[in-house]
Amino acid sequence: MGTKGDGNRQRIVDAADKLFYRRGYNQTSFQDISDATGIPRGNFYYYFKTKDEILNAVVNSRMDELSEMLNHCEAETDDARGRLLLFSNMLEVNQDKVIESGCPIGTLSSELAKNDPTLHTKSKQTFVLLRNWVKQQFDTIGLSNADELAMDLLAKLQGVAVLACAFKDVEYVKRSHQDIKNWINDKTLN
């Protein structure tokens, strides 16, 4: 807190964030992060005891950014439907990254599910955050099955992300995004 190293710590987290997304957690080495930041490998252990701790910091950082984005959606409009539509825009806004590397939340979760359960649980937190926020929007409208609708919306986004990345298809993303917006309207308009 307030010490000189905080800048370096954040630079490590930011570089790891991008690399974990683009290459995966397991395929990202300390050397990769060192190359990206200019900070020597050995120095990382001053900030983090293990690679797991870097992942922890990355997930926390992602959740902070996500919360900010969701707060922005809330600030834009009082209408829950409008908030959900804004949220769903994420898919098309990030379409290039999604086509290249998939959804950062989904792919990290899928990767870590095959390794350490502790790491998988940590990565899951981002999904929980999303699920609760989306549920809250459906709740506001007064829908009794808000949590199921939240899961359905997240599943739609994840499914599109997996196929968009597999087939590298921009048009598919655009079409699917429109389908999702139609679905949101369908569920939220009485």
End-to-end Cα distance, the chain: 50
Binder of residue 86, out of a copy of itself, DNA, none (CB less than 5 to 8 A by kind): none
Nearest distance from residue 162's CB to a copy of itself, in Å?
Answer: 4
Site for DNA in 116-175 (CB under 7 A): none
31 CB contacts (<8 Å, ≥6 apart)?
41
- Taking alpha carbons only, the member of 157, 22, 9 closest to residue 97 is 22
Binding status of residue 29 toward DNA by CB under 7 A: yes
Binder of residue 50, out of a copy of itself, DNA, none (CB less than 5 to 8 A by kind): DNA
Site for a copy of itself in 149-178 (CB under 8 A): 151-152, 154-160, 162-163, 165-167, 172, 175-176
Using the CB atoms, write b or e for 122-154: b if 16+ within 10 Å. Answer: bbbbbbebbbebbbbbbbbbebeebbebbeebb
| Residue in 14, 22, 24, 43 binding DNA, rule: CB under 7 A | 43
Alpha-carbon torsion, ordered 68, 73, 74, 76, to 10 deg: 120
Site for a copy of itself in 38-77 (CB under 8 A): none
Binder of residue 40, out of a copy of itself, DNA, none (CB less than 5 to 8 A by kind): DNA
| Residue in 8, 34, 127, 143 binding a copy of itself, rule: CB under 8 A | 127
